[in-house]
Amino acid sequence: MTTTTDDLPFGLGVSLYSYTDDIGVTMTVEDCIADVADLGATGLEILGEGHIEDYPNPSTAWIDAWYARNERLGLTPTLYGSWIDTRRFPGRGMTAAEGAAQLELDLRLAARLGFSFVRPKIGVISEDLRVDPIWQEAVERNLQLAADLDIVVCPEIHWPTIIKSSVVEEYLEFKERTGSDHFGLLIDTGVFELSPYPRRGGSASFRMGDGSARPPVVPFVPVSDLADVMEHTVYFQAKFYEVDDELVDHYIPWREIIDVVVDSGYTGWLSSEYEGHHEPYRAPDQLRRQHALIRTIAAERAAADSAAVTALADRN
């Protein structure tokens, strides 16, 4: 699927999660969607439970307004974030059948809203985010539905999970066993974090902690590991924390990431997910900085590639 933005080889989008500390404080969901278009992005990622009015049964009027707004703003629905909350029921775990039913509900709603990807956030059982064993049956029961709806189910590889881990191996073994083109990996670029980011603030009353909690040891993940899974990667959440006034990101190595993405021939989405300081007004500015940074790196890469081709032609 080719989803290029302007002259970029990939599509640039934004997750509404980026605006968590603005929604309901300084902006409505509709304001945030308008801001995504204003900053020049073309892809729109949402959280089903968080951003759909009257989830899971939005009104026809809400759905009509959703499509009309996206058409007017030139936005394409990209990824729909969902949950399979395995701790939902007090005193017992969720069964595979219950997990499958929840995923089916969200797949059908995502399809009604025009999404191409669904990320099921599934309950974990370990510090490195090993997923509850019900996940395989819950997802496999829905693979034919996903194919019928033309949606790719993509679990998220999220810090502190590393790419070379049993978690990723389990996903890849599942993909090989099922042979499904409607299952793939979502890479959250936070896995390449160079150093912990000291978050501050938090306007949401439900926020617990300050984001500083860390497992005892998390190995450094080289961006070169990404090349090994690019053929299975269908989506990127372009996680970041801060881009400074000089358009430098000291926490996420964007130049190396963009190199791997371009070298692989990936033409899908990079969907920005701001997760820096928990303060209103900050996300819109930071998103613009990140997109300027990514566009600059991509342009420099394209210029270098063009120069190399010209030099080779001249030698021949």
* pLDDT tens, residue by residue, 31-90: 999 999 999 999 999 999 999 999 999 999 999 999 999 999 999 999 999 999 999 999
pLDDT of residue 210: 53
Q: Classify strands 269-274 and 11-15 as parallel, antiparallel or unpaired.
A: parallel
Closest CA to 119 of 141, 133, 97, 135: 135
Active site residue 51: no
Burial of residue 23 (number of CB atoms within 10 Å: 0-12, 13-18, 19+): buried
Neighbour count for residue 131 (Cβ, 10 Å): 23
pLDDT of residue 129: 84
Q: Which positions ≥6 away from 212 have C-beta within 8 Å? A: 196, 198, 199
Burial of residue 179 (number of CB atoms within 10 Å: 0-12, 13-18, 19+): exposed
Q: Cβ distance 134 to 86 under 8 Å? A: yes
Q: Cβ distance 119 to 186 under 8 Å? A: yes
pLDDT of residue 215: 56
Peptide linkage before 56 cis (omega within 30 of 0): yes
Catalytically annotated residue among 51, 158, 182, 278: 158
* pLDDT, one tens digit for every residue, the chain (316 residues): 445 556 899 999 999 999 999 999 999 999 999 999 999 999 999 999 999 999 999 999 999 999 999 999 999 999 999 999 999 999 999 999 999 999 999 999 999 999 999 999 999 988 878 899 999 999 999 999 999 999 999 999 999 899 999 999 999 999 999 999 999 999 999 999 999 898 887 544 444 455 555 555 667 899 999 999 999 999 999 999 999 999 999 999 999 999 999 999 999 999 999 999 989 999 999 999 999 999 999 999 999 988 887 877 778 7
pTM of the predicted model as reported, rounded to 2 decimal places: 0.92
CA–CA distances in Å: residue 231 to residues 136, 224, 234, 268: 21, 14, 8, 12
- Residue 77 φ/ψ, nearest 5 degrees: -60, 130
pLDDT of residue 213: 56
